[in-house]
Each structure stands twice: as structure tokens, then as C-alpha cells.
Amino acid sequence: MRYIEHDIVVKRMNGRNVVNKLFKSIFLLATLSALLALVILLYQIVSQGASHLSIDFLTNFASRFPAEAGIKAALVGSIWLMLVVAPTSIILGVGSAIYLEEYAGKNRITTFIQMNISNLAGVPSVVFGLLGLTIFVRALALGNSILAAGFTMSLLILPVIIVASQEAIRSVPGELRDASYGMGATKWQTIVRIILPAAIPGILTGSILALSRAIGETAPLIVVGVPVIIQFLPEGVMDTFTALPMQIYDWSSRPQQEFQQVAAAGIIVLMSVLLLMNSVAVFIRNKFEKRY
């Protein structure tokens, strides 16, 4: 007696193929609708803002007159912000990930820490703003400086960097660790010479994506008290500053129609920065393609 009747299988084949095709179209549709939304958004912004884009726009400070309004202070401010956020969050994040993956034992305390890191990744950014206001702006008396805002942003993206780095470290094959320990390497030598080099593509891609989140965040900056209208460039991390999303938010909330175009031009600049960061991430991922 046979369990698989081939004739029946062939007869049912048509129905199976139809279902197969149906789902394929549904998924294609889902992808296309996301793509469509993106295209519409880009079209709107570019058609609104392109007319205002110019070298002057990049080199002018903010102004009451839309025609003269420029993004210089915000662009430079955002770069300063990143100069604080990138080292702070990457050093702390990768350090925590190394500790959790390589040193910490698997006990209740580490499970608790791990769970809270994942939870922190989901906390709204306004809450991090309040934390920054209490700790950095007030308690440590850093005021509304680049340093205070940078530390606040670092806290915001730290959980994401930790989780991404942990995953990158975990994906390094155990056989490589064994080979290193088997030759008498210490844990630290194994981490520095084997694990980190193999994990760096993953760590960097995760970190850059986290940084591009930080560069687009507004809420924590508002809470920390970062001003909008600034007519000078910061000279150090203790100076105050403004950032791209703050500036864009300000322009878009002004009544004059012309400022909407200025805001759109600002968005184009912000998106270009994001695109640049993401291409760096893709470049790193391709360049260090893994070989095992």
C-alpha cells in the first residue's frame, strides 16, 4: 500500500501553485506600497525644497527673512554633536557588550541586566531627554552644552549599540575562540586579536545606524534646552549649539509659507547626511565580508 499517490499529487498541484502565486503577489504589494510612500515623500520634499538649496543655504546662519535663512549653525552643531556621541556611545556600548558576552557568567544578575538593556531600547526619547536634563544639565552643571546633549543622546542609543555589538560578538564562531585559547592566549588577547576584528563589521554597521538615529532625534534636545536661533559657531564642547532636526522643526512651525520651503531644504540636507552615513555602513559591511 502506498502513502503518496502520485496521480493525486499531480491533480492537487494546480491549487498549490495558485496559492503560491497569490502570496507572492501579496508580499510584492506590501513592498511596493512602502516604496511608494517613500517616493511620494521624497518627491514632495525635493519639489518644495530644491529651489531654496544653494551654497548660501549651507553657509548662512538662521534669519528672520526666509530668503536669507541658512543652515550653517545647525549643520556644524550636528557634526559637533556626533563628535561627542560617536566615541562616547561606541566605547561604552562595545565595552558593555564585551563584558556581557565574554566575561559575565550566566546568572540572575546578568539576565536582569540583559533584560533591562533590551527594555531601554524601547523607552521613548523624551524620557532620555528628562534623564539628561536631571543628570547632565543640572546635577553635573553642564548646562545646555554640546557635551550635555551629546551624553544624553549617547544614553539614548547606547542600548541599540550594546545589543548590535553583542550580536556581532556572538556570531564569531566558537571554533575561533577555541583555536586561540588552545594556543595559550589569554582572554584579553583572544578578544583583541580574534573576536573584535571578526565582530567589527557588525559592530560598526549597528553603531552607524544608531548614530543616524541620534542625528535625527529632536525630543531629547528640546528637553535638554538646546536653543534654535544661533548666530555663531560653537568653539568647544562646553558651548551651546543647535542641531539639524531642531532647526527644521523651528522652520516648519513658522507661519510664513516661504519657511516651509526652507524647512524642506533643511530636510534634504539632513537626509543627505543620513544617506551618507548609511552608505558608509553598507561599504563597511561589504568591505569586511566574512570568510568563515
Partner 1 sequence: MSTTQAINNRSKTAGLEQESSQATSTSSVYDTKQLNLWYGDNHALKNIDLDIKQNEVTAIIGPSGCGKSTYLKTLNRMVELVPNVKTSGQIMYRGRNIFDKDYSVEELRTRVGMVFQKPNPFPKSIYDNIAYGPRIHGIKNKKILDEIVEKSLRGAAIWDEVKDRLNENAYSISGGQQQRICIARALAIEPDVILMDEPTSALDPISTLKIEELVQELKKDYSIIIVTHNMQQAARISDKTAFFLNGEVIEYDNTDTIFSNPSDKRTEDYISGRFG
Binding site for partner 1 (CB under 8 A): 105-106, 173, 175-186, 189, 193-194, 197-198, 290-292
Q: Which is nearer to partner 1, 124 or 173 (CB)?
A: 173
End-to-end CA distance of the chain: 47
* In the complex, minimum distance from the CB of residue 117 to partner 1, in angstroms, rounded to a whole number: 21
* In the complex, minimum distance from the CB of residue 230 to partner 1, in angstroms, rounded to a whole number: 48
* In the complex, minimum distance from the CB of residue 19 to partner 1, in angstroms, rounded to a whole number: 41
The answer to whether the beta carbons of residues 85 and 211 sit under 8 Å apart is yes
Handedness of CA 204, 208, 211, 217 (dihedral sign): negative
For residue 28, the Cα-to-chain-centroid distance in whole angstroms is: 27
Question: How far is residue 86 from each of residues 4, 24, 214, 223, 227, measured CA to CA in Å?
Answer: 60, 41, 10, 21, 22
Q: Which residue has the cell 551624553?
A: 151
CB atoms within 10 A of CB 235: 8
Q: Which is nearer to partner 1, 181 or 249 (CB)?
A: 181
- Which residues lie below 8 Å from residue 270, measured CB to CB, with a gap of 6+? 215, 216, 244, 245, 248
The secondary element (H helix, E strand) that includes residue 281 is: helix 257-287
For residue 104, the Cα-to-chain-centroid distance in whole angstroms is: 27
* In the complex, minimum distance from the CB of residue 181 to partner 1, in angstroms, rounded to a whole number: 6
* In the complex, minimum distance from the CB of residue 103 to partner 1, in angstroms, rounded to a whole number: 13
Q: Which is nearer to partner 1, 182 or 236 (CB)?
A: 182
Q: Which is nearer to partner 1, 174 or 236 (CB)?
A: 174
Q: Which is nearer to partner 1, 95 or 197 (CB)?
A: 197
* In the complex, minimum distance from the CB of residue 104 to partner 1, in angstroms, rounded to a whole number: 12
The answer to whether the beta carbons of residues 267 and 49 sit under 8 Å apart is yes
Q: Which is nearer to partner 1, 72 or 177 (CB)?
A: 177
